[in-house]
Amino acid sequence: MTTIAAPATGNTPGGIGVIRISGDRAVEIADRVFVCADGSSLLNLKGYRAKFGSVKSAGECFDNAVALVFRAPKSYTGEDVVEISVHGGIYIIEKTLGAVFAAGAEPAQAGEFTKRAFLNGKLDLTQAESVADLISAQGEAAAKASFNLLQGALSDKIRGVTERLTDCSALMAAWVDYPYEEIPELEQEELGETLKTAQAQLQELINSYENGQTMTQGVETVIAGKPNAGKSTLMNLLAGREKSIVTEIAGTTRDVVEESVRLGELVLHLNDTAGIHAGGDAVESIGIQRAMDKISSAVLVLAVFDSSAPLSDEDRTVIEQCRGKRAIAVINKTDLQQRIDAAEIEAAFAETVYISAKNGEGAAELEDAVKRLLGVEQFDASAPILANQRQKSCCKNALDYITEARTALESGMTYDAVNVMMDSAIDELLALTGKKATAEVVDNIFSKFCVGK
Ligand code: GDP
């Protein structure tokens, strides 16, 4: 394995910037660019020890630094690792990195540190994936759920299911191979129970997928309504700052404006759409069509109504658009004289909230309604969840094989026939945690990481 290096901190100026070096030659390379203030050498330093000193390039010191040494296998990657902390200016970080490359390190590929950690058995695939998720988490629920997976919650659960299936499979194989030996015959009932339990556990994980995605990835949300209903004002209220242009001329939000906002533990990816109304110019018509498309693909719709005016045909179009969708009626402008027929709206929506987007009244009720409608109030961030489509599809395939195995067992097929399906189920679970994942799958996962992770 080559010795690799990359900045571990972001590409913006900060107090400190960290260059991470990993591989057999990590300490030797770090020692070439780092001068210990006490005259000692990094080469003799034990793991988990730090030295103050300076970094040098072409024989000249250019910044004060701290070198932290980790010795294999007790490091993030499982290899020798040195982290050099310099002042966090982009130029200084690049200069340090240049010196490290000149001393013999290779540039790290995207995700290569975490990939090495995986290959060295420090993390399984679900944990490696959670590193990327934890870094990109935008809200509390996402961060908690990802940290939980990093701690091995999903790995433990899948390992438990896999071990029980493997035990049964081994016993069945033995019974098939040596029918005359003194091997206790596996009771059909017991086998059936094991399969049933595995089915239930995998099904539970699959069921929680959507909810988990909602909590961790955020919710595609559309703010819909006729012009001047207060969509942009609501968006600004949720975003906490001016983003959409709010004016009193109908139709001023000409296209879809996007913004991600935190609502309690949730993250909403808000789309403030052009008002839905008849007529308008060509630009507006395109905006309106896009608004319609956005509504149909959104996970959540906030349908805004101006309560200071009677319900109009445009409002009824919005109501129609929301049918069959997860939509909340947001009856806006409660600070003005009320002229809307709220009963007709309430009848059409599972949730109706009354707000004044202008002064913020009712925002807390809106947050509660969103949580209720998305069913996230019961979300348990400490329970293992499937974090992505790959994990879900491994789980689903395993479940299908187990279901087939159960059917085969119940219809009286031989143990070796049942065992073929159990082995396939086990393979899927091993692929999930990465024990048996193909190099292609592994490369694909880590290619999505950034350099330095
Ligand atoms: P949009 O076309 O649906 O995006 O509507 P805007 O957000 O641009 O709002 C249209 C007008 O209604 C603006 O003058 C807002 O200040 C006003 N408005 C929005 N929400 C409220 C509210 O809760 N109360 C009152 N009184 N005016 C509001």
Give per-residue pLDDT as tens, 348-375. Answer: 999 999 999 999 999 999 999 998 998 8
Q: Is 336 in the pocket of ligand 1 (CB under 6 A)?
A: yes
| Letter string b/e over residues 330-351, b meaning 16 or more CB atoms within 10 A of that residue's CB | bbbbbeeeeebeeeebeebbeb
Phi and psi angles of residue 349, each rounded to the nearest 5 degrees, phi first:
-120, 145
Average confidence (pLDDT) over 22-35: 98
pLDDT at 293 > cutoff 80: no
Q: What is the dihedral of CA 229, 233, 234, 235, to 10 degrees?
A: 120
pLDDT value, residue 168: 87
Q: Determine the distance separating the centroid of ligand 1 and the alpha carbon of 234, expressed in angstroms.
A: 8
Average confidence (pLDDT) over 86-94: 96
Write the Ramachandran bin of 178: left for phi over 0, alpha for psi from -120 to 50, otherwise beta. beta
Structure token pair of residue 63: 């910044």
Contacts 24+ apart (CB under 8 A), 238-246: 238/263, 238/268, 238/270, 238/363, 239/270, 243/272, 244/272
pLDDT value, residue 447: 85
pLDDT value, residue 245: 42
pLDDT value, residue 247: 44
Q: Output the residue whose Cα is nearest ligand 1's atom 6.
A: 230
Q: Output the residue whose Cα is nearest ligand 1's atom 9.
A: 230
Q: Is 357 in the pocket of ligand 1 (CB under 6 A)?
A: yes
Q: How far apart are CA 340 and CA 105, in angstroms?
A: 70
What does pLDDT average to over the chain?
A: 88
Q: Is 232 in the pocket of ligand 1 (CB under 6 A)?
A: yes
Q: Is 265 in the pocket of ligand 1 (CB under 6 A)?
A: no
Q: Output the residue whose Cα is nearest ligand 1's atom 24.
A: 333
Q: Determine the distance separating the centroid of ligand 1 and the alpha carbon of 376, expressed in angstroms.
A: 30
- Which of these, 338, 346, 262, lies nearest to 303 by C-alpha position? 346
Q: Determine the distance separating the centroid of ligand 1 and the alpha carbon of 359, expressed in angstroms.
A: 10
pLDDT tens, 190-224? 888 999 999 999 999 999 898 888 888 888 899 99
Q: How far apart are CA 304 and CA 327, in angstroms?
A: 10
Local confidence band at 260 (pLDDT 50, 70, 90 cut-offs) = confident
- Residue 288 · residue 231 · CB < 8 Å: no
pLDDT at 64 > cutoff 70: yes
Q: Determine the distance separating the centroid of ligand 1 and the alpha carbon of 252, expressed in angstroms.
A: 11
Q: Output the residue whose Cα is nearest ligand 1's atom 19.
A: 230
Q: Determine the distance separating the centroid of ligand 1 and the alpha carbon of 263, expressed in angstroms.
A: 21
- Which of these, 22, 147, 151, lies nearest to 77 by C-alpha position? 22
Average confidence (pLDDT) over 127-144: 87
Phi and psi angles of residue 413, each rounded to the nearest 5 degrees, phi first:
-75, 160
Decide the pairing of beta strands 257-263 and 266-272: antiparallel
Local confidence band at 244 (pLDDT 50, 70, 90 cut-offs) = very low
Closest ligand 1 atom to Cα of 248:
14
- Which of these, 66, 327, 119, lies nearest to 222 by C-alpha position? 327
Phi and psi angles of residue 335, each rounded to the nearest 5 degrees, phi first:
-80, -10
Our CA angle for 344, 347, 352, nearest 5°, is 95
Secondary structure of residue 446 in the 3-state scheme: helix
One-letter amino acid at 361 equals E
Q: How far apart are CA 222 and CA 231, in angstroms?
A: 10
- Which of these, 55, 53, 64, 49, lies nearest to 32 by C-alpha position? 55
